Copies of this chain bind each other. A is one copy, B any other.
Amino acid sequence: MAARTAAKASARERLLEAADELFYSEGIQTVGIDRVIEHAGVAKASLYNTFKSKEGLVCAYLEHRFARRRDRVARAMTRFRTPREQVLGVFDALGETFTDPQYNGCAFARATSEAPENSAIRKVAEDYRVWIRDLFAGLLTASGCADPDTLARQFLLLYDGAAQSASLDHDPSAATTARAAASVLLDAAPLKTPTP
């Protein structure tokens, strides 16, 4: 464990990093096992000892992305005080990822569109969707929205749309576009009246 430096990460870590780069940039079906192990500098047997199949590696890759996204959002949340600032801050956290020239759209949406109907891959993607939706709903409830669920669904559309537009239209400013729209919707939404 805990290598002395970054000189030599474990086979598992190198595989995850290679999978992250290749699967995300080129797609899952397009990238074969051989390219992953070559990019990771790891033997094929190591892959199949660590993960039981290609699907297992793909799931680990997605879970890794999921954890990173949660961390990034959690860190962004600490920068804001009020729930209103926080819910708009989610779009800022999204916008950070758009500035990466490697940005290529939502990894979970892309993986889902390549995965068969009832695969473990889709399960991970669904967990992600539940998380992001609950995140919006929670923050909007805390903001005192009268109808947080409806607004959360609208925010989710802006969130997904921004990711897609940033990638397909090569337009990193989609995050601020989405944020501006969310701000208008939030201002227009009725507040919950305090219980009498």
Q: Contact residues of A with B, CB < 8 Å?
A: 26-27, 29-30, 104-106, 108-110, 112-114, 116, 125-126, 129, 133, 150, 153-154, 156-162, 164-165, 168-169, 171, 174, 177-178, 180-181, 184-185, 187-188
Contact = CB atoms under 8 A, between A and B. Distances in A.
B30 A114 contact: yes
10 contacts: A27-B114, A112-B168, A113-B113, A153-B177, A154-B158, A154-B178, A154-B180, A156-B161, A158-B181, A160-B165
A114 B160 CA distance: 18
Total copies of the chain: 2
Contact of A114 (B29, B108, B133, B158): B29
B174 A165 contact: no
Contacts of A177: 150, 153-154, 157
